[in-house]
Structure 1
Amino acid sequence: MRELRDYNAQEWLRGAPLFQYLRRARNRTVDRIYRRRLAPGQAELVARLSGHEGAMAFTVAFNMPEAVELLMDAMARFLPETLLVVCDNSSRAEARQAIAAACAARGVAYCDMPISPYQVGRNGSRSHAVALNWIFHNLIRPAAPRVFALLDHDLLPLQPVDLCARVAATPCYGMVRTHGKAWYLWPGYSVFDFRSVGHLPLDFGTDTPLGLDTGGQNWSVLYRNLDQAACTAPMAPMYVRDPLTGDRAHYLLVDGWLHAGGAGHGGEGAFASVQRAYAANPEGLLAALEPVPQGRGKGRNKKTAQ
């Protein structure tokens, strides 16, 4: 949230500080009510997680079983020692059924999350935020993993990654997003040392007054006190060539993880291209990526035929 002294006279006349603080109070109330809801098999899941000594990765699944399938395959291939937990925030019952079945087939930990208080298309960022806050309070804190990561469901590793090493010298690490003087870690790729942050009142909500999306509330709780450079993962736009069509489109590569981009939000075609490229050569896809020339990587999933 912005400090009251940062509002100008016109904003005070419009009542902006009061409106924003009331909206924040509303969001916190919704979070706290939702946080108290239980998921089926929650106690058993926490017991399973508590027995794992290594890193854990939590992904919020949303309406795309195929994205979750690809993530599970890539995690098993490149991060077999990391316990993946699929937390299902899907709005469609058939998607939840398919994702639950896929997790059961692979023996992957699955959480059938309580239905979100936010409907799809109305406020996707808030739906994601309350899901993350529920996961933090109901799964991560009780299980107390050494290291935990938050992953987008359409993010996939293309090489082995040591998550514990990423936070050996810093409380957190991941894809940094900034707005003005504030910054935060995108919760689609962020890694945390539990001993450093588990006691903090983390809040993965948006901070609209500061221009920060999901995860932005942690600017005031955590990030403002840290060295941004030490927490920043390398990232670059890269071309992925579709083996079926020969076309290429660019996606974001973050610390060896490829963000298929748009899965669950109208980006099925873009995701399918990555899906085919991965299936054709999972071990060699990272080396096959082509750098996007500087100045051409601002858009997402733009196609070229070369």
Structure 2
Amino acid sequence: MVNLKHIVRSIRRNRLVWAMLRYRDLLVYRRFRGRDVESGRAFARELTETGTNFCFSVAFNTPWVVDALTKAWVTYTSGVMLVVVDNSSSVAARKAHQEICAKRGIPYLELPKNPETNPARSHGIAMNWVYYNIVRHLEPETFGFIDHDCLPIEPFSLRGQLGHKAAYGWRRLPGSNYYFTQPADDPGWFLWAGLCFYQYAAISDKMIDFRPTMENGMDTGGGNWVPFYSKLRPEHVGFAAETQTPIDIDGQTVGYQTFDGALLHIGGASYKGLSTQLDYRQKLSDHIWNAYLGGTEDRLVAI
């Protein structure tokens, strides 16, 4: 049997087809970015009264994760305000996220309904909406993004990690999924969309674009290679160190990504992996709360 994915990929490699798809994606993105812009500006005005350093988390259909993230943030971080922006397709999840944030004193905003079904593109245009409709009006000292399932498990300072550098985050190289030939002299890199933090002054005059650029093998955030990352010297960026934290559940040990020894990344909580299985998710949540968050008594969401 012919592999259907191989056929689709081969069709997409046609430059005319690819150009048409990219044009379609651009139209969808521009339409989405232009929706509810006044709500973003009004939200920015509210945030100006709360500080000058902000970290946005794009939530997606996972109240149990947002519950853990918000508790971890108020427990282990200071100096940078967490802001939850909701990209969920589930109305029930949005309601739960809003209630969690209200109880924990975390600013919250619903994003417009996202037209993209591809996770990378959906995440990318949501981040762009936040940047152009909130951050550009907020003009903070520093800002960035953290995945909703990437939570601090010990005292951690994003401002400290950034220091006087232009950017901080987990550096990623292009993957093997190039649609076209990789330029030998322009391999590129990008900061993972789930951990990227910036001096606003260093980025404010750039045509920022958090969308993926799969033509050169870059996932969400890769669109910033040309306008921003390619202009930076290595010493102007703080790169997070990636390690593994083993978590044992019922004799099954899984290594979870950890950044700079303080940020635990559950990974794929919304759409793939062990954490989408109810029994495992319950036990993983229990472990996280008991090991890092002072016990399950403060948990707001039943799994």
Query: Shorter-normalised TM-score: what interval?
Result: 0.7 to 0.9
Residue in structure 2 matched with residue 59 of structure 1 by the alignment: 57
1:271 and 1:152 mapped to 2: Cα distance?
18
Residue in structure 2 matched with residue 252 of structure 1 by the alignment: 257
Q: CA deviation at 1:82?
A: 2.0
2:155 and 2:190 mapped to 1: Cα distance?
25
Q: Could you tell me whether the CA contact under 8 Å between 1:182 and 1:224 is conserved in 2?
A: yes
Residue in structure 1 matched with residue 177 of structure 2 by the alignment: none
Change beyond 3 A, Cα 1:141–1:39: closer
2:68 and 2:161 mapped to 1: Cα distance?
23
Alignment of 1:259-270 (within 5 A): 259-266=265-272, 267-269=275-277
**From 217, 235, 260, the counterpart of 2:242:** 235
Is 1:187 matched with 2:197? no
Q: CA deviation at 1:31?
A: 1.5
What's the Cα RMSD here?
A: 2.3
2:242 and 2:208 mapped to 1: Cα distance?
25
Change beyond 3 A, Cα 1:16–1:74: same
**From 138, 158, 161, the counterpart of 2:156:** 161
Q: Could you tell me whether the CA contact under 8 Å between 1:39 and 1:111 is conserved in 2?
A: no
Deviations 1:171-216 (A, max 9, x none): 1111111027221011101111101002211001111110111111
Residue in structure 2 matched with residue 278 of structure 1 by the alignment: 288
Q: CA deviation at 1:43?
A: 4.2
2:153 and 2:285 mapped to 1: Cα distance?
12
The sequence identity of aligned pairs, in percent, is 30
**From 80, 83, 89, the counterpart of 2:81:** 83
Q: CA deviation at 1:273?
A: 4.3
- Provide the secondary structure at the position in 2 that maps to 1:221: coil
Q: TM-score, normalised by structure 1?
A: 0.80
Q: Could you tell me whether the CA contact under 8 Å between 1:203 and 1:215 is conserved in 2?
A: yes
Q: CA deviation at 1:284?
A: 9.2
AA in 1 matched with 2:265: H
Q: CA deviation at 1:105?
A: 1.6
- Provide the secondary structure at the position in 2 that maps to 1:48: helix
Deviations 1:222-262 (A, max 9, x none): 111223464321011221234xx354211100122110111
Residue in structure 2 matched with residue 176 of structure 1 by the alignment: 171
Change beyond 3 A, Cα 1:41–1:222: closer
- Provide the secondary structure at the position in 1 that maps to 2:50: coil
Moved more, 22-31 or 214-223: 22-31
- Runs of 5+ in structure 1 lacking a partner? 1-13, 286-306
- Provide the secondary structure at the position in 1 that maps to 2:115: coil
- Provide the secondary structure at the position in 2 that maps to 1:99: helix
Q: TM-score, normalised by structure 2?
A: 0.81
Change beyond 3 A, Cα 1:39–1:202: closer
- Runs of 5+ in structure 2 lacking a partner? 1-11, 175-181, 296-303
Change beyond 3 A, Cα 1:156–1:272: farther
Q: Could you tell me whether the CA contact under 8 Å between 1:71 and 1:155 is conserved in 2?
A: yes
Is 1:215 matched with 2:221? yes
Moved more, 18-27 or 93-102: 18-27
Change beyond 3 A, Cα 1:143–1:271: farther
Q: How many residues align?
A: 267
Is 1:100 matched with 2:110? no
Q: CA deviation at 1:70?
A: 0.4
2:103 and 2:158 mapped to 1: Cα distance?
25
